[in-house]
Structure 1
Amino acid sequence: MRHLFIITVLSLCVTVAQADTQQTFTEWLQELKADAVREGISKKTVDATFKHAKLLPRVIQLDRSQPEFISTFLDYLNRRVNTSLVERGRYLLTQHQPLLAEVESSYGVPKQVLVAFWGMETHYGKMQGDFDLASALMTLAYEGRRAVFFRNELFNLMRIADARHASTSVRIQGSWAGAMGHMQFMPSTLIAHGVDANHDGRVDIWQSLPDAMYSAANYLAKAGWRGDEPIMVQVDLPADFDYRLAKLNYRQHVDAWKALGVYVPAHIRNLENAAILLPQGWRGPALMVFSNFDVVMDWNRSVNYALAVAYLSEQLVGVADIAVEDDVELGALSFNEMWALQGKLNELGFPSGPPDGFPGLKTQEAIRMYQSAHGLPQDGYASPSLYVRLIESLK
């Protein structure tokens, strides 16, 4: 993979050269500070926010870093949803039953779903992030990859301070990417969906669990949550199933899937927006997802994340594990291998777009085209065996 290493080094050199021509961080901060005042943010909040402003190289490193391996679904699930997370979640479901029942009654979002988000985001509030949020957002806005977005989030953070949801005398902490509180809201999300559940005049998503839970449920409800529908169920596919149909953007009524021979659990009835996913390829589990899966994806665009939230929510109330057959293909491609796979698909005439190291929808379609041309099950899955086959085909 020497060519990929050269590309990476060259891109870093270009980035450093561009940085040398930019304003210094201090000069840029002075302009940003003046812009914040023009945005109507109080001078007191602006001064307090900029008082300890720092460029955080670690934030830039995290923003630009690429994973060594692209996690498979089962690896991701095993790493994120372990026994201790489930057991702790079950305890908290019982401990906070009155609060969670109130939230569910108000918004229609099941209590186990809210607790699943809580567990996935911050391990139930234990890991809310230890970066100075103002400095992290300033760094990301200065670094430039998504400058406008992070600049606006910084201004929203200061508006939150102006509204006294968080004290300006305390430096708000959160993730390196700007998320904060029990549920890791971005500042704009708090402004749009925050709920003062305990009626103390503040939306305190850091310390007040009622505020955090009501705010999360409000977000999900506004995103279209359907209270009487599941997120996901496991299904069984017939031997002659057409794997080309198993993708997130192909939706049918549950009855249409049943007509194709798909076995769906008996309690799933009269749902129309159903898709089938094969997140570990055709030998792995087949999962049917519904409209509420799209709501979870609105929260976080990762399919693996959304499936993990669904799985954890089921584990919290005792639903059986996902069944996995012994012949499922395990093992993950590295970031460089995925990049090379995309390049080789392009070379063979199966357009996957410019290589980026991630198996997106275009790459999945290119894989299906290759699989069709070679008589393979068309699941669109970037498996290690497919990678080896592609490498061998060009020797």
Structure 2
Amino acid sequence: MAIESVDVVVTSPGRNFVTAVVTTSDGVVGLGDATLNGRELAVASYLRDHVAPTLLGRDESQIEWIWQYLYRSPYWRRGPVTMSAIAAIDMALWDIAAKKAGVPLYQLLGGASRSGLLSYAHASGTTVETLHEAIHGYLEQGFRAVRIQAGVPGLDQIYGVHDAAPGGTYEYEPAGRAAVGEAMRPTEETWDTAAYLRHLPSVFAAVREEFGGVLRLLHDGHHRMSPIEAARLARDLEPYDPFWLEDCTPGEDQSVLRLVRQHSTTPLAIGEVFNSVYDYQTLITERLIDYVRSSATHAGGITGLRQIMTFAGIYGIRSGFHGPTDVSPVGMAANLHLGLAIHNFGIQEYMPHSALTKTVFRTGYRFADGLLHPGDAPGLGVELDREEAAKHEYRPAYLPVNRLRDGSVHDW
């Protein structure tokens, strides 16, 4: 059989998503996630204008060949736009292959290596008290691990921090959205690293006092620290046994994590902004991280992410795949199928999508007792309702910009 069409669906059921829909000549449809938060239309154009025309008539079963063709043939390689487009095609082809075989995708990846995927929730609060309320809510839902983010005294809104609704959960969308047909620019938030470094250890201490030592606690630094600041925080958090400290420094200069390693045994996670195995070369070979944070959506799909995890496994490094709500349910399913199959799984980020999103993307994966499972439907187990998708028009949306008190632009 052969690829008959490649359609690109852009929809915004509460937030923007880009989906590649690959249809074969015998009528089998595969889905792939190409969502790149804040740059969605760039990937949609790359897929529609530059990738789709080169694939028509090709054998859809040649997944590895097509991946290499899309990666190696263009002069301009890698980067988030290119790799998200490749990811979408790759997921769709794996989806088709598993549907034709009549099995859930993880069976084609070697079968299940575990019964479910340990997952962590996003617990946050503008105060320690509201953070505790959020954690209690997630524990009641069955979570055994939570990422904790808290407000910093003297600062206003901070990316990743929001008070939960009653019951401990919330649907948090940090990207500002324009009205239909209107232009917009990102909102700006103020940051103070010194205040954050003084405050965060006390947050961990309070959470440990409230919840004891068994609950796994994670924290995201959002690239905000210099190397020596990151080393200090990693050391200061050691007494509270963090599961990991994520993105403590910007990802571009990987060598700086050597300094963090010299000063602390706190496990480190990084990579949600990385796009290929080459981005991890120094980090993995020198064992400067403990967890890989990429997602199938942004790292070349199932084929690309499996490359990274095979390389990481040689060095005892585990997965911590990126799973926010700006990875669509299709991309989330791809993460879960790969996570269930690989030996060196670590933990899975899980931000449930909104009810509105699920009217467009009908999912088969499930959560119980702290564990996610991709489900047993053939393929990825996600279906796209294109009629419903068409009701939700794209709206520009951008994550906030981070500034220091003097107005200079800062990492986040």
Q: Which has the larger helix fraction?
A: 1
TM-score bucket of the superposed structures, by smaller chain = under 0.3
Normalising to structure 2: TM-score of the pair?
0.23
Return the structure number with greater relative CO, CA threshold 8 A, min gap 6: 2
* Structure number with bigger Rg: 1
Q: Which has the larger strand fraction?
A: 2
